[in-house]
Amino acid sequence: MKGSGRVTSQRRQRLLTQLERQDSIRISELAATFQVSEITVRRDLDELAEQGLLERFHGGARWIARPRPEETSFEEKPYLHAKEKDAIGEAAAALVKSEDTVLLNGGTTTLAVLRHITQAHVRVVTNNAAATNEVNGTDIELILLGGEYRAKSRSLFGDLATLTLSQIHASICILGANGVSARAGLTTSVYPEAAINRLMAERCNGNVIAVTDGSKIGVTSNFASVPLLGVKILITDPSANPDELAAIKAAGVQTIVVGSD
């Protein structure tokens, strides 16, 4: 079932990419492009429309133009919400157990998690190329996924990364995100990284934990990473929208707010 879900998710990501390029597209064209039935395409479009990612019209769909803020460089990110990220990282690291195999994705919040892992004999598997700077002098066994390097986010992605990841069975997965919402789940602004995040969640036999500062709560970024039903715990800070947090909690996700009185 997981494999089928991955195929569906990948097709929908490709569909969104094509739709953004063309602005609008017909169901018949999509069915021919992806070699699936028109019924399948309609189902995809209806689901993506419910997530607010496109607009449906009879016989097709159109892209919903959204403002795209310039992506923050990796060098700038450590100075944004630094105190909150450190507290979130400490809380997430406390959920790691000795002997765990931990999956961590890219980003500065997951680096904060890595800094706080002190348990014995922990193995960390990550596409976060900056992780090498955080494990000196620790007992952590670090495994970097191979693949293509994206300098803007200091992350690794691509076929080699997913091939390596597909051979791993992790006991815990900790994911950062550009957006977390009750409607769209975990989302990211970078398409290749969405596939990595999704596969990390699928290769985890234990809890999938989302870590993000409050500014990302209620936000839907461009590409779906992990549906909310695939997340067990969300760790954030008191600046998060309380109504959105309540909706996420109602969806079955345990929410932990750190740094509050």
Provide the CB-side half-sphere exposure for 61 (13 A, CA).
Answer: 32
Centre a 10 Å sphere on the Cβ of residue 83 and count the other Cβ atoms it contains: 10
Residue 79's pLDDT is what?
A: 46
Which pLDDT belongs to residue 214? Answer: 93
- Residue 260, pLDDT above cutoff 80: no
Closest to 219 (Cα-Cα) out of 247, 186, 181? 181
Query: What does the pLDDT look like over 31-68, one tens digit per residue?
Result: 999 999 999 999 999 988 887 778 899 999 988 765 54
Q: How confident is the model at residue 228 (pLDDT cuts 50, 70, 90)?
A: very high
Asked if residues 15 and 42 have their Cβ atoms less than 8 Å apart, the reply is: no
Q: Is the pTM of this model over 0.75?
A: no
Query: Once rounded to an integer, what is the mean pLDDT over residues 4-15?
Result: 72
Q: Is the pLDDT of residue 74 over 70?
A: no
Read off the pLDDT of residues 91-148 as tens digits, 9 standing for 90 and up: 999 999 999 999 999 999 999 999 999 999 999 999 999 999 888 888 999 999 999 8
- The predicted pLDDT at position 69 comes to 47
The continuous run of DSSP H or E covering 31 comes out as: helix 27-34
- Look at residue 222 in the predicted model and tell me its pLDDT: 82
pLDDT confidence of residue 26: 92
* Digit-coded pLDDT (tens) for 155-213: 998 889 999 999 999 999 999 999 999 988 999 988 888 889 999 999 999 999 999 99
Predicted confidence at residue 65, as pLDDT, reads: 62
| Residue 70 φ then ψ, to 5° | -60, 135
Order the strands of the 24-26 sheet from edge to edge: 24-26, 60-63, 54-57
Strand partners, 63: 54
Q: What pLDDT was estimated at residue 21?
A: 75
- pLDDT value for 144: 95
- Centre a 10 Å sphere on the Cβ of residue 6 and count the other Cβ atoms it contains: 16
- The strand ranges marked E within the chain are 24-26, 54-57, 60-63, 101-104, 123-126, 141-144, 148-150, 155-157, 170-176, 179-181, 185-188, 204-211, 223-226, 233-236, 254-257
- Give me the pLDDT at residue 88, please: 97
Kindly list the structural domains of the chain, giving each domain's residue range(s) and its CATH number in brackets, ordered by start.
2-63 (1.10.10.10), 77-257 (3.40.50.10470)
Q: What span, in angstroms and rounded, lies between the C-alpha atoms of 219 and 187?
A: 8
**What CA–CA distance (Å, rounded) separates 192 from 32?**
24
Determine the straight-line distance between the first and last CA of the chain, rounded to whole angstroms: 42
What tens digit of pLDDT does each residue of 79-88 get? 467 899 999 9
User: Residue 210: which region, alpha, beta or left (left: phi > 0; alpha: psi -120 to 50)?
Assistant: beta
Q: How many CB atoms lie within 10 A of CB 246?
A: 12
